[in-house]
Each structure stands twice: as C-alpha cells, then as structure tokens.
Amino acid sequence: MSVETQKETLGFQTEVKQLLHLMIHSLYSNKEIFLRELISNASDAVDKLRFEALAKPELLEGGAELKIRVSFDKDAKTVTLEDNGIGMSREDAVTHLGTIAKSGTADFMKHLSGDQKKDSHLIGQFGVGFYSAFIVADKVDVFSRRAGLAASEGVHWSSKGEGEFEISTVEKADRGTRIVLHLKSAEDEFADGWRLRNIIKKYSDHIALPIELPKEVAAAEGEEQPAVEWETVNRASALWTRPRTEVKDEEYQEFYKHVAHDFENPLSWSHNKVEGKLEYTSLLYVPTRAPFDLYQREAPKGLKLYVQRVFVMDQAESFLPLYLRFIKGVVDSNDLSLNVSREILQKDPIIDSMKSALTKRVLDMLEKLAKNEPEQYKGFWKNFGQVMKEGPAEDFANKEKIAGLLRFASTQGDDGEQVVGLADYLARAKEGQDKIYYLTGETYAQVKNSPHLEVFRKKGIEVLLLTDRIDEWLMSYLNDFDGKSFVDVARGDLDLGNLDSEEDKKAAEEVAKSKEGLVERLKTALGDSVAEVRVSHRLTDSPAILAIGEQDLGLQMRQILEASGQKVPDSKPIFEFNPAHPLIEKLDNEQSDERFGDLSHILFDQAALAAGDSLKDPAAYVRRLNKLLVELSV
C-alpha cells in the first residue's frame, strides 16, 4: 500500500453519532451478530458486481472467482473481512459510511422505542449494519476500490466510532473492500479461527458464494512461516435451490434475516419450485413485524430477483401486488433474460403469470397461518391488516380470498380487537340472515355506542364495527362474501329481510302512516338541512339519527377526500325519528312553530354529533339549547 494522499477528517451525521453510541453501549446483546452483518454486506457487494458485469464484463478485471475471506491476527487483535465485490469510491465511502443512507435520515432514531429487542430489528432495515462493527472494535479501517477505477483511486476510511472519521486516497491493486476490526481488549475471543468458523456456520451458511478462512499448514522446507491455505467454511450454495427436505427451519430463518435485513425470525415462509411451461423457484417470507416504511407506498419494496442463480435486482416489485409489499424473499427464474430491466419486467407476459401464481401462494400461506395459528395470525393482522385492506380494490381476481383473510371488530366483542373473520361471522349469523351488517366510524367507542345499532341489539344480530380510516373505501369494493351482500346499517332505508316478522313490518307501516303529519312538520322545520325525513326502523332508545343516502359518501370518505384537497360532492342526510320516544311525542304535541323548530334543530344536531360529525353552526346549537334550559328552569 502506498502513501496516503488527500487526507481529511469529516464529522459523522448526527444520526450516525447517536446510532454509534447506541451500538457501543446498549443495543446488541448478541455481539457475534457483527460478523453476520458484515458478511451480508459483502455478499450484497458481490451480487452488485455480478449484475453490473453482465453489461460491463471488464469490471471483473480478470478475476471472475467471487468470494469473501475472513482472517484474524491474535497478536494484533484484529479480524479482517475482505470481498472482491463492487467496492467503493471515495465518494461512496463518505456517503455510505458517514450517513444513514435512507430517505428521512432522522427516521431511524424516531422509530427507536428504548426496548433493546424491538430496536435491534431496525438496524438492518435502515442499511446501517456496518456500524455493528463497533460493538466489538474500538477502531475500524476500511480499504476499498470500486471496480473499474484505477488502482491509484483506492480509499482508506478509518474511525474510532466517536464523532468523526478520516478518509484518504490510497493505492489498492485489487477491487473490492477490506475491513479491519481492531478488537476491544474484552473482545479478543473473536480473533480465533474456531470461533469465527462457528459464527459463519451459524449465521451465514446460506450465503451463495464461498466464505473462506485461513487453514494453517506446515511450512515447506526452507520456509520460516507456514504457507496460508484458504478453505471454504460455508455450504456456498443458494439455499432456495436446495430441496425443502434438506433445509432446516433454522437455515430458512437465517436466510430470511439476510434477505430482509431483519433481526427477528419470520412468521411464516413458503418454498416452492415450479416446473413445466414456466420454470422458477420462489422462497417467500411473512415478517413478524411491520417495517418502518410500510405505509409509504413509494418506498423500495419487492423480491430479490435472480435469473439462473445470477443476482439481477434487489427490489423487483413486479412479482407481487402493492398490498403484499411487506412480503420478503427471492424469486429465481429460468425463463427471463439476464439483461432484464424494470421496464422490461413491467411488460413481460411471463411476469404476469408469475405474479398471479406468487400472489396466490402468499394468500394460501396466510390462509394456512390463520387456520392453524390463530394467535400468530392475530399478531400478523395487527401489523399488516390495514395494508391487506388495500387488496380488494387492487386485486379483483382474489377479492373473495382476500375478504376471507380480513378481520374486524364486532358487537360481540368488548375491547375493539379486530379478530372476527367473515366466515366466523356467517357461521354464527341468525337463522334467516342473508346479509353481513357493518357500521363505519372514527372510533370504536363511537360506533359501539351508535344509535344505529339499537334494533340490532334488540334482535341479537351481530354487526361488524369498522373504525380504520380506510374502511369505508374498502367496503366500496366489497359487495358480497360467500353469496351474502354487505349492508351499511347507517345507509339507506334499513331492511332486515327475513329477520323482521310480518307482524313487525305491518306494525311499522301503520306507525309510519300515523306520523305523516309529523314528518311534514319536520321537513318544513329542517328545510335544506335534510334530504328526507322518515320514521325510523333502527331506533329503540334514541329519539333520532341521521342516515346516509344510498349513493352518498359517508363521513370517513368525505374526510379523506377533503384532507387530500379534492372537491366533495354535496349531499344531505336523512333524518329518522323514533315515534315511541318521549321527546318525539312531546315534539308531536308542540303547538308553537318557533319552539317546534328549535327542538327539531336540537335533535338534528344531537344526531349529527352521535354520528361523529361536526356541527355546521355550533353557536346556533348552543343558543337553542340554552334557550330550552332557561324555559325548563322557569
């Protein structure tokens, strides 16, 4: 190595300083993970070189044998990890080793919870696994040269993991990266061949290129030092190419951590080889925990794509629909060309066929999880439920299958947990019930106590309670399930069908006829505030409610559209009153038109509040209410 030039000292980005402090002082309870992270990064660097070399073979510089080497020096207390992958330029080193290279650099710190186990899973997701080196090292030296650059354009990055790092230009004959860890005095156990071998076998056996360790042999005659031979210590074959019967659960779990940059085991996985018209292998994983950027639909996502075992793309998003963007894994195709690009992927009919099959495989995996591991599925739904609710709108072909995976709160629960599946709901439906009833709202407390549910409580009919912001939009795409149509209990003129006896229906008609005069008076009093006034079949305890017109937007959709700056079409609610309620009887007997008008508007505003809506004129409501209170107190 020649003399270093253009040497400068730079400060770490603020988030990196905080991260390093966390790494060094508290975050990792399992220190040996540092080697897994560095090997994983080295593997990615080799994959990137393989891919770039498809178009530019000269990047291989005559050295097509790709590998990772791990060595140690007991006397110097160092561990060295070297790869002959893509390498880094000076600019790359400053960017990748001095900052957290994710959009929104403060996100990492923002997502930390203070819980060591929960926090550790973020490290790989944010691409900061390199910094795990400082768990065992008090100084780290990185020597690198990007493939294609001259030997004189090597870079030396060095830091003690405090506030700054040094960077300089050096001579480096070979492409790739060499990382030298200067171990802390308490961590010299890692400068040991047996220890390193065990860690590699434990965490990195699945890496699909050789990981070599030095094997000391006796010195040849006349030599002072024994010659160093290298031996491969991992299996060095792509895990997904092996038969399922030969792969242990622990191997699947470790491979997931490598692919997903996650520190937790996956919830479930599916390994499948397709032969015939199309030939490809897939290994798909359901994570245990949601990634930090799950709800950023434009965030990087997708499967690792290989073509005939050659890495092609890190986030191939064309193989699964957007609502399954949390799925991690690998797809290896024999039918795609090696020069495939994102644009080609979007137009290739082979991709459409693979996407359809992979989507079905994921949904089957989730169905199996829901059936066999209901508690595990409950955890899955808590993390990924809102994303799954995007499915019926995006994936018409699998709408029924997705609907079967949805979970909701209902009037049969008491804590708002979303645990009720549609199949379970129908299994315990009332005899003669041919509808699935639901109610949407802002909060569980609001919908649970809604007056719209009164007749359902009286008759013992279960109603699904939907309070996620996406729910009303979701239900606009779900028309039926298992032949039973969905009915919003707050919309239109409620018809309970066979659940109402002929006597009930006849009695309701007679009551409506007897209150025609009151209906007309209310229409006059409420004027333009309402689209219609009618006797309610929904109420047993409350005096009045506001129903939504059959074709009108509900409150949730109106708020979503307004928040996004879109124009919301005008619509007016339907005012329904309970003729048996004492307040309505009092209203019916009121002779003063002024007092009748005030009482009508108070009932209207109360019904709006009960529905979770805001009042158009709160001051007028308060004025009328105060006036009424004064009259009552006289």
Determine if residue 88 is labeled as part of a ligand binding site.
yes
pLDDT value at residue 432: 85
User: What average pLDDT does the chain have?
Assistant: 85
Of 1-5, 238-242, 278-282, 506-510, the poorest mean pLDDT is in 1-5
pLDDT at 556 over 60: yes
pLDDT value at residue 634: 55
Of 459-473, 497-511, 551-565, the poorest mean pLDDT is in 551-565
The DSSP bridge pattern shows strands 176-183 and 78-83 to be: antiparallel
The topology under which CATH files domain 407-499 is Rossmann fold (3.40.50)
Q: E strands of 467-622, at which residues? A: 480-481, 484-488, 532-535, 544-547, 574-577
Residue pair 466/441 in contact by the 8 Å Cβ criterion: yes
Percent of the chain predicted with pLDDT > 70: 88
Q: Tokens representing 525?
A: 């009093």
pLDDT value at residue 507: 82
pTM of the model: 0.74
Determine if residue 504 is labeled as part of a ligand binding site.
no
pLDDT value at residue 247: 92
pLDDT at 342 over 90: no
pLDDT in tens, 261-271: 888 899 999 99
In eight-state DSSP terms, residue 211 is E
Q: Tokens representing 46?
A: 């080799």
Q: Tokens representing 68?
A: 């990772």
Confidence of residue 140 (pLDDT cuts 50, 70, 90): very high
Q: Which amino acid is at 485?
A: S
pLDDT in tens, 420-467: 999 999 999 988 888 999 999 888 888 898 899 999 998 899 999 999
Residues of the chain with CATH 3.30.565.10: 5-232
Place of tokens 């001051």: 619
More confident position, 23 or 199: 199
Cα 208 to Cα 237: distance, rounded to the nearest angstrom: 5
Alpha-helical (H) ranges within 324-443 are: 342-347, 349-372, 374-388, 391-394, 399-405, 422-427
CATH class of 5-232: alpha beta
pLDDT value at residue 169: 95
Confidence of residue 304 (pLDDT cuts 50, 70, 90): confident
Determine if residue 557 is labeled as part of a ligand binding site.
no
Residue pair 109/19 in contact by the 8 Å Cβ criterion: yes
pLDDT at 297 over 80: no
Residues of the chain with CATH 3.30.230.80: 239-381
Cα 515 to Cα 23: distance, rounded to the nearest angstrom: 73
Cα 219 to Cα 229: distance, rounded to the nearest angstrom: 11
Cα 32 to Cα 36: distance, rounded to the nearest angstrom: 8
Instruction: Identify the helix (H) or strand (E) that includes residue 556.
Output: helix 555-563
Which among 219-223, 419-423, 472-476 has the top mean pLDDT?
419-423
pLDDT at 611 over 70: yes
Which among 178-182, 230-234, 520-524 has the top mean pLDDT?
178-182
Average pLDDT over residues 461-480: 91
pLDDT value at residue 151: 94
Average pLDDT over residues 56-67: 87
Confidence of residue 101 (pLDDT cuts 50, 70, 90): very low
Q: Tokens representing 354?
A: 């693979």
pLDDT at 295 over 80: no
pLDDT value at residue 103: 35
The DSSP bridge pattern shows strands 544-547 and 5-11 to be: unpaired
Q: Tokens representing 24?
A: 């060094």
pLDDT value at residue 54: 82
Q: What is the DSSP string of 7-76?
A: EEEEEPPHHHHHHHHHIIIII-S-TTHHHHHHHHHHHHHHHHHHHHHHH-GGGGTT-----EEEEEETTT
Alpha-helical (H) ranges within 438-484 are: 444-448, 454-459, 471-475
Helices 618-633 + 593-610 axis angle, to 10: 120
Query: Could you say which architecture CATH assigns to the domain 502-633?
Result: Up-down Bundle (1.20)
Of 97-106, 130-139, 315-324, 478-487, the poorest mean pLDDT is in 97-106
Of 278-292, 331-345, 488-502, the poorest mean pLDDT is in 331-345
Alpha-helical (H) ranges within 242-294 are: 249-260
Determine if residue 148 is labeled as part of a ligand binding site.
no
**Strands, sheet with 532-535, edge to edge from the N-terminal-most edge strand:** 532-535, 574-577, 544-547
Confidence of residue 102 (pLDDT cuts 50, 70, 90): very low
Residue pair 365/284 in contact by the 8 Å Cβ criterion: yes
Task: Using CB atoms within 10 Å of the CB of residue 373, give its burial: 0 to 12 exposed, 13 to 18 middle, 19+ buried.
Answer: middle
Confidence of residue 99 (pLDDT cuts 50, 70, 90): low
Of 213-222, 308-317, 394-403, 505-514, the poorest mean pLDDT is in 213-222
pLDDT value at residue 1: 44
pLDDT value at residue 80: 97
The DSSP bridge pattern shows strands 532-535 and 574-577 to be: parallel
Determine if residue 606 is labeled as part of a ligand binding site.
no
Determine if residue 127 is labeled as part of a ligand binding site.
yes
More confident position, 515 or 158: 158
Determine if residue 129 is labeled as part of a ligand binding site.
yes
Percent of the chain predicted with pLDDT > 90: 43
What's the CA dihedral at 612, 618, 623, 627 to 10 degrees?
0
pLDDT value at residue 196: 95
Determine if residue 463 is labeled as part of a ligand binding site.
no
What is the length of the chain?
634
The topology under which CATH files domain 239-381 is Ribosomal Protein S5; domain 2 (3.30.230)
Average pLDDT over residues 511-528: 89
Q: What is the 3-state secondary structure (H, E, C) of 181-204?
A: EEECHHHHHHCCHHHHHHHHHHHC
Determine if residue 102 is labeled as part of a ligand binding site.
yes
- Name the region of 309 (left: φ>0; alpha: ψ -120 to 50; beta: rest): left
Residue pair 239/283 in contact by the 8 Å Cβ criterion: yes
Determine if residue 103 is labeled as part of a ligand binding site.
yes
Cα 405 to Cα 624: distance, rounded to the nearest angstrom: 49
pLDDT value at residue 463: 94
Residues of the chain with CATH 1.20.120.790: 502-633
Determine if residue 37 is labeled as part of a ligand binding site.
yes
Helices 374-388 + 349-372 axis angle, to 10: 140
Alpha-helical (H) ranges within 185-335 are: 193-203, 249-260
Cα 47 to Cα 42: distance, rounded to the nearest angstrom: 9
Cα 573 to Cα 597: distance, rounded to the nearest angstrom: 18
Q: Which amino acid is at 393?
A: A
Long-range contacts of 185-192 (CB under 8 A, 24+ apart): 185/77, 187/31, 187/136, 187/137, 188/74, 188/77, 190/32, 190/35, 190/72, 190/79, 190/136, 191/72, 191/73, 191/74, 191/77, 191/78, 191/79, 192/72, 192/74
